[in-house]
Structure 1
């Protein structure tokens, strides 16, 4: 019996960012580096040509990322629907919470490929997201973190980008 493959979810905007990166690497960055590599190779002895060595390494890194993105985009499941109950936390939601110290925080539950601590985009698999999923407006959730336990009160849930 084989185990069911776990789905990897992503928002439409997150998927588009990855697709745009792949397009940029393939259509702009790779041809540019290839031209630079050819120019460096034409200079003669490649064993001591720093530009040639650098461009060769850069091309390998671009090709690695192109292969990864090409595979990854096919594996991801884009979530575009909004839930029937907008007062409940699901994937893609922006959640405003108050913590134990009455500090407010905004999180957005996204796929692992689009997490960004600076913007509050947290992975669906993170402890905070796992605690928030399925909860309702006004609920208080307790989260076990490495720094200790923390309580968060859900004060707002949005499924479109909040205006502020």
Structure 2
């Protein structure tokens, strides 16, 4: 048969979207972060089950839900749960809420959380972010250098807290 008369986009892969990329970093999560991932997975399963099976209009939303489920299952399977309450309270580590003061005496709290929980606008940063890498291992009184695109900023650590 002439190739011009075949539908190459139909077949076993036509209903499956490519997987979302997984982070190359270890998937450290807080207990709350793991619970949030599990809830997102339950929500996507519910979304998928609410879609009609034989409706062409549901084909793309169904493929998106299935792709999201595969992604979330991968994140959960790779999760390394770190209990912030088990950390040394004198050293900044994963799960810490850190208060720093910059060169202009502006005080800011940063919480080091898993990548799935990270929201820099809410001062929740992933452990592999430049700021978290600068802070990890520091103690109260230490000054760390945060390499930002606009230049390096010195931050003094004034408090370290861990919440469960």
Task: Confirm whether residue 149 of structure 1 aligns to residue 158 of structure 2.
Answer: no
Note if contact 1:83-1:90 (Cα within 8 Å) is conserved in structure 2. Answer: no
Within the alignment, does 1:75 sit opposite 2:64 as a pair? no
After superposition, the C-alpha distances for 1:117-136 in whole angstroms (9 at most, x for unaligned) are 13211010111111111110
Cα deviation, 1:113-152, whole Å, max 9, x if unaligned, reads 2211132110101111111111101211112111101011
1:152 aligned counterpart, secondary structure: strand
Q: Residues of 2 paired with 1:154 and 1:116: CA distance?
A: 21
Equivalences for 1:1-164 in 2 at 5 Å?
Answer: 7-26=26-45, 28-34=46-52, 38=54, 41=55, 52-53=56-57, 55-83=58-86, 85-160=88-163
Tell me how far apart the structure 1 counterparts of residues 87 and 33 of structure 2 sit (CA, whole Å): 22
Asked whether the equivalents of residues 140 and 152 of structure 1 are also in contact (C-alpha less than 8 Å), the reply is yes
Unaligned runs of 5+ in 1: 42-51
Question: Which TM-score applies when normalising by structure 2?
Answer: 0.78
Partners in 1 of 2:86 and 2:137 — Cα distance?
A: 11
Superposition deviation, residue 81 in structure 1: 5.0
Gaps of 5+ in 2: 1-23
> Whose helix fraction is larger, Structure 1's or Structure 2's?
1
Of 96-105 and 61-70, deviating more is 96-105
Q: Deviations over 1:66-109 (max 9, x none)?
A: 01111220111000153563121111000011111111211111
**Using the alignment, how far apart are the partners of 2:27 and 2:78 within structure 1?**
7
Q: Give the aligned length.
A: 141
Q: Distance in 1 between matches of 2:34 and 2:94?
A: 14
Shift of 1:159: 0.2
